[in-house]
């Protein structure tokens, strides 16, 4: 197996896209663009585990390259372009903010396959999008959090005010409130995906405000370390963060990208790849729930497992009415299920969450 792990620098690495198919026997080259470091033990770590799974699956037929900690903006376009000039046949851009850059480069290289995580822009036939229904996992850990809080204050560290993050807050809150009507969510917007110092400060602020459960939609383990010192509980984010079990981490929401990456790379190699918009969840295995430790009471573990199984089977949808919007106006009637279009563009809190979503 040949693995290239490099930060590509300089367009002189190759000319045109000749590297994409310079020789029939050359390995198929797949590039990954990461918003954080591979060692974050969160979002980027799990995407990189998917990359490694591709290598294991295809051996010498595939070679992979990656760039880590690439800012969401013009620099991403440069990095993607350089990967292609270096010979990449397929590119996975693994954060929402890479959407415009992905499509801009795709227009220039129609023979390269592009896959954009958590995005919606598919402006060219060689661009697909994929995401996970993280809100399904957040329903399960919200259920656990609602049972376990003693102060009835749950702290939530949010990254950016985009629909993916807002959906997660709403789902976690609805399922915490379902088992504990007195629960209160306090949200701190960190405006980062990965910044251990900022995430640690956010966790401490929430703990100081009375939170005895911390949830997060950021990628570092800093909140876990702060929570451990304070004696409050947490949930692993994106990866298992098992090193903090059995406390403060009592369970986790896990992103498993490996099956998707293996399938899509295989389709590209076979010539059967087609443009698609994939949005899978617990049932498809793209979202997992980490082991629930004994710190969670047995009856809560049982009820959380039941909830997870009902979501996986399609028997239950986390956004099933009656649900009102934050201002009390009706959103979903009794038994009504939210449509994917509304969920994909969610820009509002549900009733019971205080504070405003930043612009």
- Nearest CA to 116 among 104, 75, 39? 104
The DSSP output letter for 303 is: H
Each residue's pLDDT tens digit, 321-335: 999 999 999 999 999
Q: How far is CA 55 from CA 1, 49, 152, 308, in A?
A: 7, 10, 46, 31
Q: Count CB neighbours of 311 within 10 A.
A: 23
pTM equals: 0.88
Spatial CB neighbours of 24, under 8 Å, sequence gap ≥ 6 = none
Each residue's pLDDT tens digit, 64-123: 999 999 999 889 999 999 999 999 999 999 999 999 999 999 999 999 999 999 989 999
- Nearest CA to 117 among 142, 139, 134? 134
Enumerate domains of the chain plus CATH numbers: 11-132 (3.40.50.2300), 134-256+286-344 (3.40.50.2300)
**Averaged over 147-169, what is the pLDDT?**
97
Is it the case that residue 8 has pLDDT exceeding 70?
A: no
- For residue 341, the Cα-to-chain-centroid distance in whole angstroms is 19
Q: How far is CA 70 from CA 27, 44, 74, in A?
A: 25, 11, 10
- Nearest CA to 52 among 244, 256, 285? 256
CA dist., res. 231 & res. 224, Å (int): 10
The DSSP output letter for 115 is: E
* pLDDT score at 97: 92
Higher pLDDT, 241 or 212: 212
* pLDDT score at 245: 79
The answer to whether the CB of 214 falls within 8 A of the CB of 157 is yes
């Amino acid at each position: 197996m040949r693995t290239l792990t490099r930060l590509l620098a300089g367009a002189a690495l190759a000319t045109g896209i000749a590297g994409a198919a310079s020789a029939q026997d050359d390995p198929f080259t797949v590039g990954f663009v990461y918003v954080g470091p591979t060692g974050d033990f969160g979002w980027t770590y799990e995407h990189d585990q998917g990359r490694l799974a591709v290598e294991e699956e295809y051996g010498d037929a595939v070679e992979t390259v990656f760039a880590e900690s690439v800012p969401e903006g013009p620099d991403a376009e440069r990095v993607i372009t350089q990967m292609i000039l270096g010979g990449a046949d397929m590119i996975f851009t693994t954060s929402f903010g890479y959407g415009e850059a992905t499509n801009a480069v795709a227009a220039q290289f129609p023979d390269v396959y592009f896959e954009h995580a958590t995005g919606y822009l598919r402006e060219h036939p060689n661009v697909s999008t994929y995401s996970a229904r993280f809100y399904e996992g957040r329903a399960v850990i919200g259920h656990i959090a609602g049972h376990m809080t003693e102060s009835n204050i749950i702290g939530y560290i949010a990254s950016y005010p985009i629909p993916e993050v807002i959906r997660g807050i709403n789902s976690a809150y609805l399922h915490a409130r379902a088992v504990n009507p007195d629960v209160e969510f306090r949200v701190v917007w960190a405006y980062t995906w990965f910044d251990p110092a900022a995430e640690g400060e956010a966790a401490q602020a929430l703990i100081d405000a009375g939170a005895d459960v911390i949830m997060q939609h950021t990628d570092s383990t800093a909140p876990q370390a702060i929570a451990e010192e304070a004696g409050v509980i947490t949930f692993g984010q994106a990866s298992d963060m098992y090193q903090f079990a059995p406390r403060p981490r009592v369970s986790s929401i896990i992103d498993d990208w490996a099956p998707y990456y293996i399938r899509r790379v295989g389709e590209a190699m076979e010539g059967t790849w087609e443009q698609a918009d994939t949005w899978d969840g617990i049932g498809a295995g793209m979202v997992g729930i980490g082991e629930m430790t004994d710190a969670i009471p047995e009856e809560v573990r049982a009820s959380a497992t039941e909830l997870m199984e009902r979501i996986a089977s399609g028997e239950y949808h986390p956004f099933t009415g009656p649900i009102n919007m934050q201002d009390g106006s009706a959103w979903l009637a009794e038994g009504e299920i939210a449509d994917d279009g509304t969920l994909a563009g969610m820009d509002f809190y549900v009733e019971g969450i205080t504070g405003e979503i930043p612009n």
